[in-house]
Chain A
Amino acid sequence: MTKPKSPIGGPFQAPEPGVHRLGPMQVLDAPMRRFSPDDQVDYCVVGVGAAGGVLVQRLSRAGFRVVGLEAGPFWDTERDWVSDEKGSHQLYWTEPRVTGGSHPLSLGENNSGRGVGGGSVHWAAFTPRLHPSDFRTQSQDGVGVDWPIAYDDLKPYYELLEREMPVSGPAYFPWGDPHGYTFGPHPMGGVGDLLIRGCTKLGIRVSIGGPVAILAGSRGNRPHCIYRGFCIQGCKVGAKQSTLISHVPDAIAHGAEVRAHAMASRIEIDAENRVTGVRYVDHQGTERFQRARAVIVSGYAIETPRLLLNSACPAYPSGLANSSGMVGRCLMAQAGNVILGRFSELVRMYKAPPAHCMTEEFYETDPQRDFARGFAIQSVAPLPIAFAKQMIASKGSWGWALRREMMDYNHWGTIAVLGELLPNPDNRVTLADETDHRGIRVAKVTFGLCDNDKKLIAFARKKVEDVMWAAGAEEVVQESRFAHLVGGARMGVDPRTSVTDAFGRTHDVDNLFVCDGSLFPTQGSANPGLTIQSLAARAADYLIDQSAAIFRRGAPRSREKVAIRTDLSPPDTWGPGVPRLGG
């Protein structure tokens, strides 16, 4: 055995007691305001994740009394997180759920989060924008449904959030609405190298070093990336954005309360069709009720429908805000097939962020193909346990054969499809008969593929296999899988076919909103994180501008666009002065 070495100055010590760290350079030093559940707050946000984190920050900065209820803990990144694959399981939503259908989705790992920051804690942090075509797939391609907003409605929020996160990426990103990034791109790791090599051989344009919400250089109170590869295990470094480190500290500094270990069980409504607050179960298992003038549900694509369905009442017997019957329906996942290539040379794919190289060359509908819409190709980089499962899935290996594949771990590289699957009302969240340990009925997820989905996956898989061969792989195998979850409480113009309006305000109840990935009517082939946070910033502008009408019974509902507030960004956000393409 090698003689143990030690850093100059001795091993790294335990974090100092009484200090709440959010990355090595940021300390949560302001005391948090505490509301009593009997206080009627202005806004109660259920779920402090990607969307909820941005919402509480915006609303508190604008002076509202805000409580965010979060089912999981309020992480101290130094104390609670580890640089380890197995030890990071606590970041994922691992409460009981049931999954089924013709293509059951595996849940429980990094498709939804638990704890302040939610899924943004363990996303790989790819941050492509949706394309303009994504907002009108029905009118353009005759599939899916049009969004109630257009790309141009969201574009200023994309630009704003790209600076707030911030996003590192190339100076020129040619797809969709071409644009460039203020913050420079990352260096390549092994999987990025082979993706570029394969794409270059085939004449496919490729984006190098982003877009990804990871700092390539230190900025403010956040260090730069150290290329350790544990992005989806929670970034202890603080280089990768999560709302936990980018927005929540600012929310607390402006008087928001983020109440951890508060699991919402039911939203209450009065006789005049107004929500009055949220019932939740606290850390001790005690049921409490937080009064609020308006409620925003930001529990993500499974827990948001679950809470609305569990809030059924005499006025809404099939679930709160569910007069359309659309709550829980049109749940979507993206095709996430992983193509694995074995190379004679070493790749060592555990280094560098998994997300650092991509192409959207096949994103749009191509009439030459036999299916609508398209897909992206992205770098991924499984750590050993995930890689073992991929060898099991792709090669059927077990026993000695699995040991043999694993001994070659460093020779393998992986590239993934990220493909648009279409919304289908039968893909849905319902309530199972069983309950969790608090007595709340658990979600059942049903999922299957339509014909277009299957054709898209077959084509995309073949294309990525071609890239892998072109990169010089000696063996190419693939694993069929899915990535990301959105939909389940979609927004739309027509109250008969959607749950909320274009701002996330439920059609049924004037002071009840949804704000998270469940709003997506379709999903494109972009990772949803940037769009979720941008939608949250847009919703916040509406909640701020329209608050008087939202809080007043019987006030007419505005459907007018509100002006973007660029003065609500967290500190250390650069302004729009840095020249960018398309900016």
Chain B
Amino acid sequence: MSNPERPAADPRELWPVDSEGHPLPPKIQPGYYPGFSTLSQQAFWDEATRREVLRRVESLPHIRFFQGDEVPLLEAASARLLPQDDRAEARRIPIVPWIDERLYEGKGDGFRFEDMPPDGEAYRLGLAGIAAAAQARRGQPFQQLPAADQDDILKQLHHGKAPSEHEAWRRMPAHKFFLLMLHDVCKVYYAHPWAWDEIGFGGPAYPRGYMRLERGQREPWEVDERRYAWAPPPAAGSAETERVAGQDDLYGTSQGGTH
């Protein structure tokens, strides 16, 4: 646990590092596929897909579901659930407005686990529970805590432990709320073409399709992978994860993602 008198963190502590532990400054495009741009291919996409994907880049829904402090709190939590400190400021992918839109419009997978409230209610409760944990720990809002403290609280949720004496954790299992947030964040981040560029995913492919199917070959418009030494910032609470064997329930499933 970090020292309460600790000075404001050096931003370089939040950056990934190279093989010698030197911080890697933020990039326009992280990942191993320099110059790869799915958006450069948009003329080859069908109109409906182009409209859907460009909306994610060009517009941002107004906040309609979350209220007051919920927004900065979830912004801070999202920034630890899937950090973007290695992305140049202008190329960070907005997360919270899209989660807000989904909850406001009542869209989602529809089902709820019997021990969970509906998604919107779970967010209201869970964020209040996280705020209470931050107050109990430091007497401060979660969004003002050092990253290490934020990671600590999220880690407790991940392992199914209540981080505070709060009604939220009597109403729902902490790890299920953690997974709800983490899945939502991933659904926004990895739906963005900048994230596709980062991981080398080809993106939409109709009506053009793919020709080179085997041996990981790239299409003429894709780029080769160019790896370099890259490791998470060593101080981050999520740099390494310890999976508890036999506790599948803690980690959820991707149901529906494959077959």
Chain A residues with a Cβ under 8 A of chain B: 1-7, 10-15, 24, 78-87, 89, 92-100, 104-111, 124, 126, 187-190, 193, 226-230, 232, 236-237, 336, 338, 345-348, 350-352, 354-355, 378, 380-390, 392-404, 406-407, 409-410, 414, 416, 418, 444, 479-484, 527
Residues of A within 8 A of B208 (CB): 7, 226, 228
CB-contact partner of A481 in B81, B82, B218, B255, under 8 A:
B255
CB-contact partner of A389 in B45, B202, B257, under 8 A:
B257
A380–B232 CB distance below 8 A: no
Q: List 9 A-B contacts (CB under 8 A).
A: A12-B43, A87-B53, A99-B114, A381-B258, A384-B199, A386-B254, A392-B251, A397-B238, A397-B241
A480–B258 CB distance below 8 A: no
Closest to A87 in B: B52
Residues of A within 8 A of B118 (CB): 96
A126–B111 CB distance below 8 A: no
Q: A124-B259, A230-B205, A397-B241 are in contact. List 12 more A-B contacts (CB 8 A).
A: A12-B47, A82-B52, A97-B112, A190-B213, A232-B258, A351-B212, A389-B253, A396-B243, A398-B82, A399-B83, A400-B83, A401-B238
Q: Which residues of chain B (30-48) have a CB below 8 Å from chain A?
A: 30-32, 35-37, 39-48
CB-contact partner of A100 in B37, B114, B186, under 8 A:
B114
Bound CA span A388–B258, Å = 12
Interface string of B230-241 (1 = CB under 8 A from A): 111100111111
A228–B209 CB distance below 8 A: yes
Q: Total A-B residue pairs with C-beta atoms closer than 8 Å?
A: 329
Residues of A within 8 A of B11 (CB): none
> Nearest Cβ in chain B — how far from A71, in angstroms?
13
CB-contact partner of A384 in B151, B182, B196, B231, under 8 A:
B196
A404–B230 CB distance below 8 A: yes
The contact size tier of chain B is 35 or more
Closest to B47 in A: A14
A389–B254 CB distance below 8 A: yes
A402–B238 CB distance below 8 A: yes
Given contact pairs A6-B43, A399-B237, A406-B199, A98 touches B111 in the complex (Cβ within 8 A):
yes
Residues of B within 8 A of A4 (CB): 39-43
B200 at the interface (CB under 8 A from A): yes
Residues of B within 8 A of A79 (CB): 48
Most buried by B among A352, A384, A404: A384
Interface string of B217-259 (1 = CB under 8 A from A): 1100100010000111100111111111000101111111111
Stretch binding the partner chain, chosen from B59-67, B129-137, B162-170, B187-195:
B187-195
Given contact pairs A386-B258, A400-B239, A12 touches B252 in the complex (Cβ within 8 A):
no
Closest to A12 in B: B46
B198 at the interface (CB under 8 A from A): yes
B140 at the interface (CB under 8 A from A): no
Closest to A389 in B: B254
A401–B250 CB distance below 8 A: no
B257–A82 CB distance below 8 A: no
Residues of A within 8 A of B31 (CB): 407
B204 at the interface (CB under 8 A from A): yes
